[in-house]
Amino acid sequence: MDAHRSQIRPARLAICALLITCSVGCASVNVEAPRRDARDPALIAAEPVRRESVAALIDGLPMTGENIVRRLVAEGEESTIFLVRIGDREEPHRHTRYDITVVLVEGSGSLWLDGRELPMARGDVGHVPRGVPHYFVNSGSVPASAVVVFSPKFIGPDNEPVSP
């Protein structure tokens, strides 16, 4: 049983990173649709095989007194990945165009999905189908950072406010 759990852990971490990316896009801050040339060296996925550490991504996205900050990490034909950092909390909202997957890579908190609390710690993954009311509340002493994947490709914000 312990060997089985040790095999599941890397997969869980990968899924969590993906979810965090989605959460980044969920923040209620308006962001214009990314318009970058695929050859831009700032994109992680610009080359077929390329990697960047989560620590480097976080270091490259300081909070600068903001509650929520985000950075485009990569985009493809069918999805977009962001790094999102949340100091306190998001406003409750839903997406009308996107499903998101959030992987928490730093910090802790709760992802609220349709009125239900999903406690999250580093490495946890959450999925938010389009139309489902949600928001994230940071419970830690450091900003929570997540890799958030939007699907289909992000073409602009679609946050629709909802009551908690």
Per the structure, the count of domains in the chain is: 1
Please give the pLDDT value at position 131: 97
Please give the pLDDT value at position 78: 95
Domain around 83: 2-155
- Residue 16 is assigned to a structural domain of this protein: yes
- Residue 141 is assigned to a structural domain of this protein: yes
- Residue 125 is assigned to a structural domain of this protein: yes
Please give the pLDDT value at position 164: 76
- Residue 164 is assigned to a structural domain of this protein: no
- Residue 60 is assigned to a structural domain of this protein: yes
- Residue 163 is assigned to a structural domain of this protein: no
CATH number for the domain harbouring residue 78: 2.60.120.10
Q: In b/e form, how buried is each residue of 38-56, taking b as 16+ CB within 10 angstroms?
A: eeeeebbbeeeeeeeebee
Spans of the chain below 50 pLDDT: 4-46
pLDDT digits (tens, 9 = 90+) for 57-102: 999 999 999 999 999 998 889 999 999 999 999 999 999 999 999 9
